[in-house]
Structure 1
């Protein structure tokens, strides 16, 4: 899709993402001089995160000064918080990868109108890959239209995930979930940048992705890119309410439906910080054929996206 055909707000988001990507790429050439801090145990932030976020916010507010901003590093400190339009920003998703020189990280920018994501950009600066979508107009990687994969059997599916890493996370519970998924799929991968993981579902590299403990800026942009590519996104129970639920499941329609009964017993209980105590052992997951609630999330598919081939 040519830049002339893109929505004006999406063009501004792309400009902001590329500006942040330039800062990140320059910094990646000399990682030894970067100052690294920690927001919490194993949750790192660098001066590069802050610089990238600053240029994104500057670019967005120059174009739309009345819009609201929700950014990972500065929260809701910028823009007009009463606006119906809110930009949701992760300036450097995959900071831990970045500070180790592992080239798997991205800039994520989404625009929500009254809580519904309308524009989305995820930019991989190391590969110069630009994933983008406008609601009802399809999802793209650079100029190539994206479609989710055609796979329909869970046993053939490659699934992405993210491991818990914070103090208080219920690691034993997650390992049981990991074991359940690993034994019923073709493989599980964990690159370490959720925004890119979601785009990989849209591009058909993965057939599904799930993770707990995520914030809105981790998933807002990628969720629209997936639905515009013909996929589904929701929480572990198969409902469309996921943006603020700290859990996300995304995938091709058929694979998504088979993962819901596997993940449902673990919904919102992986993290002991949310439950207040370590939960008891999970009940045995329902067989994939049961597929409970799998039809409840069809509304998360973009109305403008054509039916996915499956």
Structure 2
């Protein structure tokens, strides 16, 4: 068994371990704190789940680096060597509102590129995994949708636009509802990306700078499921790109046009933030 195969198995095992922590506290009245803003929430379950994920990975890879949303882990993916990118509860705002759409996300990367990923949604009883060859939901291989007509496509805005960037948020919603059949918003980037990978959604967009723990695992899943992921210029997305444009590949030009139109709103406002 190769080391990279090992990392696929460890990613899933670690994500399941963290998800079990989140699930144990879900709908149990857990205390909620705020971090950088009114909607930037965290719970003790986030911290405990991250520790559980890290502890599980370290049983097999004790010397690897960790990039994680909570506590003192790295916040940027190292350019060289192995690392693990962790979001203990992606969708914490859903979690604290008793909404089932949240995930524990774990991705293994080498030299900044993902090689394995797992998104476990414990309240939905779903587990998404991805290796070098494909993406799987509950052990069954999945692929992106075959929708090629934008007027049949369902697309989601994702990530979060701060209160001083709500014109861009509104533009994202407007672009989607005018270009595509319908819009969804799920409150968890990793859940959203998983749903593009399994064909439940046809695309997702944002023009903000994304955190690696919100994106890397799901991006790997979409790509291994046959989808396309670019930045706002249409170039291959990397963990340090601004913006995230994701589709089944067949409608990517239209999804990219929508994302660029959102960014035009930012440019007209003189935006130079992330």
Q: TM-score, normalised by structure 1?
A: 0.80
Cα distance in 2 between the residues matched to 1:123 and 1:90: 11
Displacement after TM superposition at 1:161 (Å) = 1.6
Alpha-carbon displacement from aligned partner over 1:202-253 (angstroms, at most 9, x marks no partner):
1100011112432111010000110111000111221113422342111111
- Are residues 1:21 and 2:19 paired? yes
1:70·1:76 contact (CA, 8 Å) conserved in 2? yes
Does the 8 Å contact 2:146/2:250 carry over to 1? no
The reply to whether residue 49 of structure 1 matches residue 46 of structure 2 is yes
Superposition map of 1:1-310 within 5 A:
7-30=5-28, 32=29, 34-41=30-37, 42-76=39-73, 84-135=81-132, 137-162=133-158, 164-168=160-164, 170-213=165-208, 214-267=210-263, 270=266, 275=272
How much has 1:48 moved relative to structure 2? 0.4
Task: Please state how far the C-alpha of 1:191 moved relative to its aligned partner.
Answer: 1.1
Q: How many residues matched?
A: 268
CA deviations on 1:50-98 (whole Å, 9 max, x unpaired) are 00000001111221011111001135359xx796001011000000100
Distance 1:161 1:99, change over 3 A: same
Q: Secondary structure at the match of 1:7?
A: helix
Q: Distance in 2 between matches of 1:90 and 1:115?
A: 17
Moved over 4 A (4+): 268-274
Structure 2 unmatched ranges of 5 or more: none
TM-score relative to the length of structure 2: 0.90
Cα distance in 2 between the residues matched to 1:113 and 1:191:
29
Instruction: Note the C-alpha offset of 1:26.
Output: 0.9
8 Å CA contact retained: 2:91, 2:187: yes
Q: Could you say which structure has the larger radius of gyration?
A: 1
1:276 Cα deviation after fit: 5.2
Distance 1:25 1:254 in 2: 36
What root-mean-square deviation, in Å, do the aligned CA atoms of Structure 1 and Structure 2 show? 2.6
